[in-house]
Amino acid sequence: MAESSQRRCVLICQNRSCLRSGAEAVLQEFRSIATPNVLISPSDCLGQCGSGPTVRVMPDDSWYCRIKPDDVETIATEHLQGDRPVARLLHPRFHPHPDAFKPS
Ligand code: FES
Mean pLDDT by 10 residues, the chain (104 residues): 72 98 98 92 98 97 97 96 95 88 72
- The dihedral through the CA atoms of 82, 84, 89, 93 has a sign that is positive
Kindly give the distance from the C-alpha atom of residue 18 to the centroid of ligand 1, in angstroms, as a whole number: 5
Q: Please confirm whether the linkage preceding 53 is cis (ω < 30° from 0).
A: yes
Q: What is the CATH number of the domain that holds 72?
A: 3.40.30.10
* Prediction pTM value: 0.92
Residue 103 placed within a domain: no
Domain limits for position 34: 8-95
The predicted structure's pLDDT at residue 83? 93
Comparing C-alpha atoms, which of 55, 62, 53, 58 is closest to residue 98? Answer: 62
**Total structural domains within the chain:** 1
Looking from the CA of residue 17, the nearest atom of ligand 1 is: 1
The predicted structure's pLDDT at residue 102? 76
The predicted structure's pLDDT at residue 98? 81
Residue 104 placed within a domain: no
For the Cβ of 58 lying below 6 angstroms from any atom of ligand 1, the answer is no
Kindly give the distance from the C-alpha atom of residue 97 to the centroid of ligand 1, in angstroms, as a whole number: 23
Residue 2 placed within a domain: no
Residue 78 placed within a domain: yes
